[in-house]
């Protein structure tokens, strides 16, 4: 049996404790902050992604049920299509985003939506918009000389009950 010095045992136990504390802190923070990891939902052909029959042929917002929406966003050099989405406050929106040309980023400020948009890959994340206001969508991955002009917005409108 191997002998470990008492001070080494203390440092080993302290290191293990700190490691466990960090893991628990990350798990707790991710659950309480609603952090989601964007996933690859499907693969598409970037050359034919806008052909009839594809949801990106006419990208935009689709209502699934009251307060539940799907948003199909197409990123292409220097523009998001659509560049504006309007939903009532309290809505839950699932974003399906893909690129037709080069790698882009997709971030909605003041939400947990932040993902890479890669040609041929569909990324998906969901956000709830409880507060009325305007949320800016930006491309955070350099995509060419007009990158700084690539933005859009989500307008969250007050509900009728809140307005009265």
Residue 145 dihedral angles phi and psi, to the nearest 5° = -65, -25
pTM, two decimal places? 0.79
**Contact criterion met (CB below 8 Å) for 38 and 125:** yes
Give tens-digit pLDDT for 80-115.
999 999 999 999 999 999 999 999 999 999 988 899
Give tens-digit pLDDT for 46-80.
999 999 999 999 999 999 999 999 999 999 999 99
**Contact criterion met (CB below 8 Å) for 123 and 114:** no
In DSSP notation, 115-159 reads EEE-BTEEEEEEEEE-S-EEEEEE--S--STTGGG-EEEEEEEPP
Give the end-to-end CA distance of the chain in Å, rounded to a whole number.
77
């Amino acid at each position: 049996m191997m002998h470990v010095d008492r001070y080494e045992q203390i440092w080993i136990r302290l290191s293990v404790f700190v490691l466990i504390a960090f893991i628990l802190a990350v798990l707790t923070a991710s659950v309480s902050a609603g952090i989601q990891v964007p996933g690859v939902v499907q693969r598409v052909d970037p050359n034919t992604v806008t052909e009839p029959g594809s949801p990106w042929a006419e990208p935009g917002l689709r209502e699934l049920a009251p307060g539940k929406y799907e948003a199909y966003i197409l990123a292409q050099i220097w523009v998001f299509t659509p560049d504006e989405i309007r939903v009532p406050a309290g809505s839950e929106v699932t974003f399906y985003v893909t690129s037709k040309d080069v790698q882009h980023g997709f971030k909605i400020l003041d939400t947990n939506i932040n993902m890479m948009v890669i040609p041929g890959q569909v990324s998906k994340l969901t956000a709830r918009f409880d507060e009325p206001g305007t949320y800016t969508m930006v491309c955070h991955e350099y995509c060419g000389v007009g990158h700084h002009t690539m933005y859009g917005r989500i307008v969250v409108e007050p509900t009728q009950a809140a307005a009265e």
